[in-house]
Structure 1
Amino acid sequence: MTEFWCEYAWLPAGVRRGVYVAMSDVFTEVSVLDSPPPGVRLLAGLVVPGFANAHSHAFHRALRGRTHADGGTFWTWRTAMYRLAARLDPDSYLRLARVVYAEMAAAGVTCVGEFHYVHHPAGGGRYADPNAMGEALRQAAADAGIRITLLDTCYLAGGISTPLAPGQERFSDGTVDAWADRISAQRDAAHARVGAAIHSVRAVPRTDLPAVVAAAGDRPLHVHLSEQPAENEACQAAYGASPAELLHEAGALTVRTTAVHATHLSTKDIELLGGAGTGACFCPTTEADLADGIGPARELADAGSPLSLGSDQHAVIDPLLEARALEHGERLRTGERGRFAPSELVAALTNHASLGWPEAGRIAVGAPADLVAIDLASPRTAGSLPAQAVLAATAADVRTVVASGRIVASSGRHELLDDPRPAIEELWL
């Protein structure tokens, strides 16, 4: 059994001072105590539940700091991303994802949703194990000490009524049935669960959407939605409907579904997502980096969409910065402060239910024993009220991270991060 006494802890009822926690892989006791019992380790500062990174493309991390020289657009950035994807194999992907997930762990992430579509060898064909690339990601998460939901992605077309381009061939199984057959061989594990994803309405034709939904069953289902105006325009021209309307028609909007980005939505789109209880995952640093725009987060939350946060292309891996950027985006969009209360930002940071782990994301008996200790005495946080520290702190203030009862990072360091450069630079040599 492991024991901690937390100076301040974010419990389901709010922030409390002096909280004792005991744990195995789950919390076995949570109680308020004025002072630490003898021999119990102190966690100074504010202790919050582990963060859920609800949207990750691990291999995009290798693009960080390499796509800014010529400006460009989302679509030119995507060309560089395809070139990178062509260089991956299971071994190099394991090495890269291992340091990416370790960086997440050091920043407080205890569960990642990996939106995984690099399935097959470059140029097509199959690995001896058709799920070799996904297994590399699962192993990388295990090595980093965090949980993973592998959101195995159906990807069938290069665009609406457009065949796959050469750089996209390795993303595709060819048909929904072939995709469904491949993911049926995957199994949940203690640290890993299997989810599903529709890459986008660009990559899955209208007639195939219902079959993907049926094959996903009761798994979490994620989908890129209306990230770019061009996607909306192409969908409207081809089908006479918005992407959200197309997904609604196919039965894809449910409480198990999370719409990623959800940037360019109409009032009707918002009503469809909120009315279905479909979640919305915002990735503010990526949406800013790619000049995607600022989505209607407050309107979606008010309509009934649970919010989550992701780091997507990993221009930054800092969940606290993503949470603050969500609120700041709302302020810039509306000219109003306090669009999201700190408690709402913490709820988005800890939304493990979006990844199929509804038991996680809270400091309570029986929940997975995930903790993130945030320094309240750093140059950034000194003087902050504990209940408002999420609007002052960054990943640099994360001091201790516990995932499933195990300390995985301390003082901003993870044992796998001694030198992440070889795993990244080998892809560019």
Structure 2
Amino acid sequence: MSGFWCEAALIEADGGDVAGSGGARRPEIAAGVRLEVHEGRISGIATGVRPEAGDQILNGVVFPAAANAHSHAFHRILRGRTHDGRGDFWVWREQMYRSAAELTPEKYEKLATAVFTEMVVSGFSSVAEFHYVHHQPGGIPYAEPHAMELALARAAVASGIRLTLLDTLYLAGGIGTPLSPEQARFGDADADAWLDRLGSLRAGVARSFPPELVGVGAALHSVRGVPEEALKTVAAKLPADIPLHIHLSEQPAENQACIEAYGVTPAGLLARHGLLSRRLSAVHATHLTPEDIRLLGDAGATVVMCPTTEADLADGIGPARALSDAGSTIALGTDQHAVIDPWVEMRTLEHGERLASGQRGRFSPQELFHAATIGATASMATPIASALEVGAVCDLMAVAPDSVRTAGSIPRQFAFSATASDVTDVVIAAELVASNGAHVRLGTPGSLLAEALKEFS
């Protein structure tokens, strides 16, 4: 195959004399776009042309594929199963622990393959998996080192998605509280033991998987799950060349406990130990003070919003616009996978802002698409689909412009009309991996999920 021919595509163009552009590039929809590819990357672009012999034809409007900056793959078990009675957070939490207790490396590989396949078919080409189910129930290590982690890596390879495996430090059940029996398999002896295990995992993954497909990052579960002394160790010893993630200020109770224990908010505690930086991705960041917003913005940290999960769990609406204005980069994740759909996450972010502020247009369609794609750059250890430009990885999603949802929409505004059901083709590393709702090699994600979920109560 010599390249891809796109009926239409979102490409970067020079701003020229457009008012307010300052000559900067701006996205535009061009017709008849041909992408030459070499070793999984775009090596040439032509517009207004016809396909050449051997080209793969992509109908509809082609965009860079989306990046999922926060995922817990096993939470997919919970979709539609935690709403009995009034379905409060504690009902969800109890079911989550039961599901975690049932995981084995074999079951997790099968489940994660199905979940990652659902992501791919929906338009994602990369995912940051916030992984903390490390050991057997009771905290007993598996005989095979990194058995659970390698199961996730194999699942990513099978589905074709680019995986950033975020190995998570989880030492406490709450500030001043030991891990509960349900949490024992998440833990390590201390931060140094985790750092040793992380180093071993990085070496093992580097030996066994292509670096552009599987990479390793680090995560701190939260200030509830990582005591201050461990934060000091991480700040001093964590290698500087990998991304770092943390759940931050997801609920008011977390903030209150942190203030009572340490005299500062979670963001303030991270700042105290030099952990706020451009490599940090703060997940949720829902309940922040103005000073927290300033700290995160001044550090240039990425803030990963998960709007459908935050709505599902009634966590609240985070200050995304204020964070962006302060200097943070906004990225999007699907977290517990109540929905796996980059387009729905985009507009749910904006709809939350509108509901909280009483104003429309808090984020432009271009800003929302940025959040769903290159906003995740610092969150990932693998490449991100940026603009359709020479040198970028050839990760694409084609969207039907004439579905019952998108018909009549301006393609640049698909964030307010499209859904994953409108994604017709997905390309990762210049390979067509999904078409018309099915994975090219694995079939429909619904069938895979139904089969995998049979193994969980």
Q: TM-score, normalised by structure 1?
A: 0.97
Residue 23 of structure 1 is matched in structure 2 by 37
How many angstroms apart in 1 are the aligned matches of 2:197 and 2:340?
31
SS at match of 1:158: strand
2:121 counterpart (106, 111, 118): 106
Once structures 1 and 2 are overlaid, which stretch shifts more, 102-111 or 344-353?
344-353
Any gaps of 5 or more consecutive residues in structure 2? 14-26
Q: Does 1:424 align with 2:453?
A: yes
CA contact (8 A) 1:286 1:314 kept: yes
Alpha-carbon spacing, 1:420–1:345, altered in 2? closer, same or farther (3 Å):
same
Q: Does 1:221 align with 2:253?
A: no
How many angstroms apart in 1 are the aligned matches of 2:453 and 2:435?
23
SS at match of 1:361: coil
Once structures 1 and 2 are overlaid, which stretch shifts more, 260-269 or 36-45?
36-45
Matched to 1:423, the amino acid is: A
Matched to 2:34, the amino acid is: Y
Alpha-carbon spacing, 1:359–1:62, altered in 2? closer, same or farther (3 Å):
closer
CA contact (8 A) 2:383 2:393 kept: no
Residue 372 of structure 1 is matched in structure 2 by 397
Q: Once the 2 structures are TM-superposed, how far is the Cα of residue 355 of structure 1 from its aligned partner?
A: 1.0
How many angstroms apart in 2 are the aligned matches of 1:198 and 1:242?
16
CA contact (8 A) 1:130 1:182 kept: no
How many angstroms apart in 1 are the aligned matches of 2:398 and 2:315?
32
Residue 17 of structure 2 is matched in structure 1 by none
CA contact (8 A) 2:126 2:384 kept: no
Residue 204 of structure 1 is matched in structure 2 by 226
Residue 75 of structure 1 is matched in structure 2 by 90
Matched to 1:198, the amino acid is: L
Alpha-carbon spacing, 1:45–1:202, altered in 2? closer, same or farther (3 Å):
same
How many angstroms apart in 2 are the aligned matches of 1:240 and 1:367?
45
> Could you report, residue by residue, the CA deviation over 1:261-292 in whole angstroms, capped at 9, with x for unpaired residues?
00000100000000000000000000000000
How many angstroms apart in 2 are the aligned matches of 1:319 and 1:294?
18
Matched to 1:7, the amino acid is: E
Q: Does 1:408 align with 2:433?
A: yes
How many angstroms apart in 2 are the aligned matches of 1:314 and 1:170?
22
> Could you report, residue by residue, the CA deviation over 1:309-342 in whole angstroms, capped at 9, with x for unpaired residues?
0000001111110001001111111011111111
SS at match of 1:12: strand
Q: Does 1:140 align with 2:165?
A: no
How many angstroms apart in 2 are the aligned matches of 1:39 and 1:408?
17
Q: Once the 2 structures are TM-superposed, how far is the Cα of residue 44 of structure 1 from its aligned partner?
A: 2.1
CA contact (8 A) 1:378 1:397 kept: yes
CA contact (8 A) 1:108 1:319 kept: yes
Q: Does 1:266 align with 2:296?
A: no
Matched to 2:391, the amino acid is: G
> Could you report, residue by residue, the CA deviation over 1:83-115 in whole angstroms, capped at 9, with x for unpaired residues?
110110100000100000000000001001000
Matched to 1:249, the amino acid is: R
2:265 counterpart (206, 223, 242): 242
How many angstroms apart in 2 are the aligned matches of 1:60 and 1:359?
24
Q: Once the 2 structures are TM-superposed, how far is the Cα of residue 45 of structure 1 from its aligned partner?
A: 2.0
Residue 47 of structure 2 is matched in structure 1 by 32
Q: TM-score, normalised by structure 2?
A: 0.91
Q: Once the 2 structures are TM-superposed, how far is the Cα of residue 386 of structure 1 from its aligned partner?
A: 1.4
How many angstroms apart in 1 are the aligned matches of 2:168 and 2:418?
34
Any gaps of 5 or more consecutive residues in structure 1? none
Once structures 1 and 2 are overlaid, which stretch shifts more, 205-214 or 166-175?
205-214
How many angstroms apart in 2 are the aligned matches of 1:359 and 1:410?
21
SS at match of 1:372: strand
How many angstroms apart in 1 are the aligned matches of 2:160 and 2:248?
30
Aligned-residue sequence identity (percent) comes to 53
SS at match of 2:174: coil
